[in-house]
């Protein structure tokens, strides 16, 4: 049967992305009925929304014609999913407080269907304790939140978490929820009830607005671990540097570019029960990246770059005290020689519980390839695994985590 969503468009500069979102959903055969909040109408018009959705657009609770024809109760009941994008700080507050003073909030109160909320706002508004409290409340109420992405804001010079995810990500989350997959429903499996945080991919450290320092990490191993943890029933947050591989299913993905953004996103995603740090974070960034493109001038010397050390995300989190340190912290080590010896040193120096040591010597073909030779280094010994695919490494690592969690649960009883 054809799936239908109600899309509530709040007032934010990101509302324009919803026009494309409607088109993409329609292409996939998903019916879209739009509710525009009063603030939303300031950013997109009922005319353009109606033309794209090919449905009447609902704007006012006391629009008697619309009430007679469909009514806000039917509007919410006839949908398979309610999506709020962009959700403003005000809309989140209304939802958390159970207000019903306009059509959008009334539909949200009247529905018995799953709700997906994609907040977008100024980073300071997002980080405000009131907004964070409201988001936690909504999560506790069973509403799925897609975290805003870190990046440049519409306001000049402002960066931070607050951007609406791009349309393909919104489409994926909507399709996933319409399919009744783990994101909405209660999860099952050995990691059910746990929050697993995974970092993956490289980081890009800008030299100037068009150039950057990067590395060859593909993100395949980290993404495979995130997918395996989700399959085992965990709620997974994947913080990923720039990669070209698809998002794993059933995982909340936060996209970042630099090591500094990675640290910020990881810190925000805590607390977690397990932290898996598979990202190939650049060890250095350019000390004073140019605000403008560096030009070459005939006869002048080539510019020299001076580098400063990036924060070590694994070490920062592993050495944390109290609830900010996940009870199980797993790092990765990329080594080209003396693999287990160097990994054991890293285990100590970074304060991790386990290190998954990869042999990345050029002969191994690991970087960018599909297979991996790893050793699991823990304080009480080393386990060497045979050559296997990155998906198999991920599945085996998740199985080891599940064993560890089960033992810990037993010991706690």
Q: Which of residues 181-220 bind ligand CTP (CB under 6 A)?
A: 199
Q: Closest separation between CB of residue 337 and ligand CTP, Å? A: 11
> For residues 167 and 313, which CB has a smaller minimum distance to ligand CTP in the complex?
313
Query: Distance of alpha carbon 144 from its chain centroid, rounded?
Result: 12
Q: Closest separation between CB of residue 257 and ligand CTP, Å? A: 14
Q: Report the candidate in 33, 127, 37, 46 with the shortest Cα–Cα distance to residue 76.
A: 33
Q: Is 310 in the site for ligand CTP (CB under 6 A)?
A: yes
Q: Is 332 in the site for ligand CTP (CB under 6 A)?
A: yes
The C-alpha atoms of residue 30 and residue 35 are separated, in whole angstroms, by 16
> For residues 4 and 345, which CB has a smaller minimum distance to ligand CTP in the complex?
345
> For residues 261 and 312, which CB has a smaller minimum distance to ligand CTP in the complex?
312
Q: Report the candidate in 413, 334, 338 with the shortest Cα–Cα distance to residue 366.
A: 334
Q: Closest separation between CB of residue 214 and ligand CTP, Å? A: 14
User: For the packed helices 46-53 and 17-27, what is the interaxial angle rounded to 10 degrees?
Assistant: 10
Tokens at residue 8, please? 């509530």
Q: DSSP for 120-133?
A: ---HHHHHSHHHHH
Q: Is 283 in the site for ligand CTP (CB under 6 A)?
A: yes
Q: Is 106 in the site for ligand CTP (CB under 6 A)?
A: no
User: For the packed helices 17-27 and 167-178, what is the interaxial angle rounded to 10 degrees?
Assistant: 50
Q: Is 345 in the site for ligand CTP (CB under 6 A)?
A: no
Tell me, by CB under 6 A, how many residues bind ligand CTP: 16
- Say if residues 89 and 50 touch (Cβ distance below 8 Å): no
- Residues labelled catalytic: 215
Options 18, 224, 313, 347; binder of ligand CTP; rule CB under 6 A: 313
Burial of 309 (0-12, 13-18, 19+ CB in 10 A): exposed
Q: Report the candidate in 129, 127, 120, 130 with the shortest Cα–Cα distance to residue 152.
A: 120
Q: Is 138 in the site for ligand CTP (CB under 6 A)?
A: no
Options 333, 339, 393, 398; binder of ligand CTP; rule CB under 6 A: 333
Q: Is 277 in the site for ligand CTP (CB under 6 A)?
A: yes
Binding residues vs ligand CTP (CB under 6 A): 199, 259, 277-279, 281, 283, 310, 312-314, 331-334, 346
């Amino acid at each position: 049967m054809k799936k239908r969503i109600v899309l509530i468009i709040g007032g934010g500069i990101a509302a324009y992305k919803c026009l494309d979102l409607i088109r993409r959903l329609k292409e996939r055969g998903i019916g879209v009925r739009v509710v525009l909040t009063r603030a939303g109408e300031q950013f997109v018009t009922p005319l353009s929304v109606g033309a794209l959705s090919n449905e009447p657009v609902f704007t006012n609770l006391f629009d008697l014609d619309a009430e007679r024809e469909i009514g806000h109760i039917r509007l919410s009941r006839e949908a398979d999913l309610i999506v709020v994008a962009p959700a403003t700080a005000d809309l989140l507050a209304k939802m958390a407080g159970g207000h019903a003073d306009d059509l959008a909030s009334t539909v949200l109160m009247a529905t018995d269907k799953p709700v997906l909320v994609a907040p977008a706002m100024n980073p300071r508004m997002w980080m405000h304790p009131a907004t964070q409290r409201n988001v936690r409340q909504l999560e506790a109420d069973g509403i799925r939140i897609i975290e805003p992405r870190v990046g440049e804001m519409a306001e000049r010079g402002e960066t931070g978490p607050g951007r609406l995810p791009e349309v393909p990500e919104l489409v994926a989350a909507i399709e996933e929820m319409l399919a009744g997959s783990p994101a909405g429903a209660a999860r099952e499996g050995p990691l059910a009830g746990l929050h697993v945080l995974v970092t993956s991919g490289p980081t890009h450290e800008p030299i100037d607005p068009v150039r950057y320092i990067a590395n060859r990490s593909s993100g395949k191993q980290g993404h495979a671990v995130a997918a395996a943890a989700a399959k085992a029933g965990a709620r997974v947050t994947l913080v990923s540097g720039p990669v070209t591989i698809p998002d794993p299913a059933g995982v909340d993905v936060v996209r970042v570019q630099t090591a500094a953004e990675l640290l910020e996103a990881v810190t925000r995603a805590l607390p977690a029960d397990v932290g898996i740090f598979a990202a190939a974070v650049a060890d250095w960034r350019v000390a004073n990246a140019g605000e403008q493109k560096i030009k070459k001038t005939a006869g002048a010397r080539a510019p020299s770059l001076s580098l400063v050390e990036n924060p070590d995300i694994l070490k920062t989190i592993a050495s944390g005290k109290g609830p900010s340190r996940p009870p199980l912290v797993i790092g990765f080590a990329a080594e080209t020689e003396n693999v287990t010896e160097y990994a054991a040193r890293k285990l100590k120096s970074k304060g991790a519980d386990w290190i998954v040591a990869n042999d990345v010597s050029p002969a191994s073909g690991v970087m960018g390839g599909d297979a991996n030779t790893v050793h699991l280094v823990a304080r009480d010994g080393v386990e060497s695994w045979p050559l296997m695919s990155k998906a198999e490494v991920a599945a085996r690592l998740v199985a080891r985590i599940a064993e560890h969690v089960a033992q810990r649960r037993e010991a706690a009883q």
